[in-house]
Amino acid sequence: QSVLTQPPSASGTPGQRVTISCSGSSSNIGSNPVAWYQQLPGAAPKLLMFGNDQRPSGVPDRFSGSKSGTSVSLAISGLQSEDEADYYCAAWDGSVWVFGGGTKLTVL
Amino acid sequence: QVQLVESGGGVVQPGRSLRLYCGGSGFTFSSFGMHWIRQAPGKGLEWMAFIWPDGSIKHFAKSVKDRFTISRDNSKNTVYLQLNSLRAEDTAVYYCARDGANRDVDYWGLGTLVTVSS
């Protein structure tokens, strides 16, 4: 059982906008910035978003993040086939780093 | 560019020990905290441990704090994860990752596979 809660799956067609949610509590998302990671099949995770809504250099602006209270969301607009991957949210919870269970995004 | 390279994985019998290594390059290793994170086959990411830049403070996941130890040698740009009393459920790819400047984990290695099996 993960500390942060994500839907196990999401899907969309090319060009569509999809949103992945991540909910937590006051001790993690409520008081710390959230990061998102993209894990392509067979690859190591890659930082996709930090500080709730900041994109690292090289991440397309099709990806955006938002936060409200103890929940965050990752939105992907103009969905592309190469976006098919697992997505994880994560944040500090006291002195431990916690992850969501991951969301498998399928591009139909 | 930042690079993290893990090694030391392999097949080990239940109850035995293993030491994982992670070498960092492309950044000032001694200025960054380091994490170990694992991923069991077909499962999600599970954080294991974190060590401060100077090694003075360490944090562990409850599930492994009595069996795993994290340490580092800044003169060798290396962080270690000592795995003791290994169990089948410790089978996973173990990643080392750098603690970022924004209360995140910013760079990951490619991982090293640990298989616990008799």
Chain A contact present for B111, CB below 8 A: yes
- Cα–Cα distance for residue pair A94/B63, rounded to 1 Å: 16
Structure tokens at B83: 């795995």
Residue B27: is its pLDDT beyond 90? yes
Mean pLDDT, residues B25-41: 97
**Residues B87-97 pLDDT 10s:** 999 999 999 99
* Minimal CA separation from A17 to chain B, in Å: 24
Q: Phi/psi zone of residue B75: left (φ > 0), alpha (ψ -120 to 50 degrees), beta?
A: alpha
How would you class B10 by CB atoms within 10 Å of its CB: exposed for 0-12, middle for 13-18, buried for 19 or more?
exposed
pLDDT at B101: 86
How many alpha carbons lie under 13 Å from residue B93 in its C-beta half-sphere?
17
Angle, vertex CA B31, rays to CA A35 and CA B73, nearest 5 = 110
- Look at A50 and B104 and tell me if their CB atoms are within 8 Å: yes
Q: Which amino acid is at B77?
A: N
- Look at A51 and B104 and tell me if their CB atoms are within 8 Å: yes
Band of residue B102 on the pLDDT scale cut at 50, 70, 90: confident
Residue B103: is its pLDDT beyond 90? no
**Residues B44-72 pLDDT 10s:** 999 999 999 999 999 999 999 999 999 99
Query: Which residue in A has a C-alpha nearest to residue B62's C-alpha?
Result: A96
- Structure-derived torsion over alpha carbons of residues A75, A10, A101, A50, reported in degrees to the nearest 10: -10
Q: How many contacts, defined by CB atoms under 8 Å, are there between A and B?
A: 64
Query: What residues have CB less than 8 Å from A4, skipping those under 6 apart?
Result: A22, A23, A24, A28, A29, A89, A90, A91, A98, A99, A100, A101
Higher-confidence position of B65 and B16 = B16
Residue B109: is its pLDDT beyond 90? yes
Chain A contact present for B52, CB below 8 A: no
* Partners of B11 in beta bridges: B115
Mean pLDDT, residues B71-100: 97
Residues of chain A with pLDDT below 70 are: none
Contacts of residue A33 in chain B, CB cutoff 8 Å? 102-104
